[in-house]
Amino acid sequence: MTHHELPPDKHELLKKAVRLEWLTIAYLLSAVVLLYFALGSSQAMKAAWAEDILSLLPPIAFLIASRVRRKQPNSKFPYGYHRVTSIAFLCASAALLALGSFVLYDSVMKLVKFEHPPIDLVKPFGDSPIWLGWLMLPALAWSALPAVFLGRAKQPLAKELHDKVLFADAEMNRADWLTAGAAMFGVVGIGFGLWWADGVAATIISLDITHDGYKNLKVAVADLMDKEPTIVDHSRPDPLPLWVRNELMLMDWVKDAEVRLREEGHVFVGEAFVVPVDNDDLVGRIARANEHLLDLDWRLHELVIAAVPEIRRPEPAGEEG
């Protein structure tokens, strides 16, 4: 099936991203099962386990979105299905924030109540009993190491594809060593009789989950509010609207121009307002300009150029966001 959003050279990258996300899901499931069997009564283990389960959400959101969004616009959905990415992202971040807060509350309460976590013996290999804490460490290592490599592999793809869900997912994977490291600290702490180490580790992990949720929720809401487009890591505004405006200003029939674009999933759509010097061949000029501008960047998906008598520019925003 062809993909009407992406240029041909990006198709391969998308396929690779989809493969990596399937691999991520398979790997995360293995980590979730492994951690489940080593959970014990450690709150830090529970938090790490919750994070691994929640880490499943962004890849699932990505895979669902990558299927739905390639549908062509139709009479019921005349703007197409690009936004499905943002909606998937919103749901995943809301879940992350809600569950992260719950685990955070639980962890802090365990510290406040001076709860001493008990960890006992297990007999996984025939007859020799072993302290469950020792099994937690390799399980945690498995929950972190491959994730870090998957995250590193996905991040450049996210940038190439201008995909924020994939980017957020890669960031979460890359930060997994923090979770595993904190949980290991908690487990080793319990081993040395430091009962609070577990609660502290769990608090750190749940803060990390909550922070991820909050950060991503902010981005998802801003996207759905049609905030000015940013580059994929949200560090600065995307220069594309400026490029489009400059191209328009460089056309000899344009006296003044203003461009506003919004992100719909990974593509940009929007309007350009132009004040023409005269009305000669206006339809032809606009059609040629449109064709030229859509060639600027693959992400510019749809542009409506309107000829107007004068331009009203939006107020500059304050610092709030």
Partner 1 sequence: MVHRTVRVALLAALLAVVAGCGIPRDPESTLDRVRGGTLRAGITASEPWTTLEGGRPGGVEVELVERFATELGARVEWVDGSEADLIGALEMRELDLVVGGLTADTPWQAKAAITRSYATTRVVVAVPSSQPVPDDIAGLRVAVESGTDAAGILEDKTDAIAVRVPDVTQVKGSAVAIEEWLLADLSLRDTGVHLSKSKHVMATPMGENAFLVRLERFLIAHQGEVPALLDAAEAS
Q: What residues make contact with partner 1 under the rule CB under 8 A?
A: 41, 115-123, 129, 131, 133-134, 137, 141, 144-145, 148, 152, 174, 177, 180-181, 184, 188, 190-195
**Residue placing its CB nearer to partner 1 in the complex, 194 or 308:** 194
Q: What is the Cα–Cα distance from 252 to 247, expressed in whole angstroms?
A: 10
Tokens, residue 196: 């609070």
- Least distance from C-beta 192 to partner 1, angstroms? 6
- Least distance from C-beta 151 to partner 1, angstroms? 9
- Least distance from C-beta 112 to partner 1, angstroms? 15
Q: What is the Cα–Cα distance from 139 to 220, expressed in whole angstroms?
A: 33
Contacts of 33 (CB under 8 A, 6+ apart): none
**Residue placing its CB nearer to partner 1 in the complex, 66 or 143:** 143
- Least distance from C-beta 194 to partner 1, angstroms? 7
Q: What is the Cα–Cα distance from 94 to 100, expressed in whole angstroms?
A: 10
**Residue placing its CB nearer to partner 1 in the complex, 104 or 184:** 184
- Least distance from C-beta 255 to partner 1, angstroms? 52
- Least distance from C-beta 134 to partner 1, angstroms? 7
- Least distance from C-beta 42 to partner 1, angstroms? 11
- Least distance from C-beta 99 to partner 1, angstroms? 21
**Residue placing its CB nearer to partner 1 in the complex, 125 or 192:** 192
Residue type, 119: I
8 Å CB contact between 80 and 72: yes
Contacts of 135 (CB under 8 A, 6+ apart): 37, 38, 122, 124
- Give CA angle at 5 (165, 217), nearest 5°: 20
**Residue placing its CB nearer to partner 1 in the complex, 143 or 216:** 143
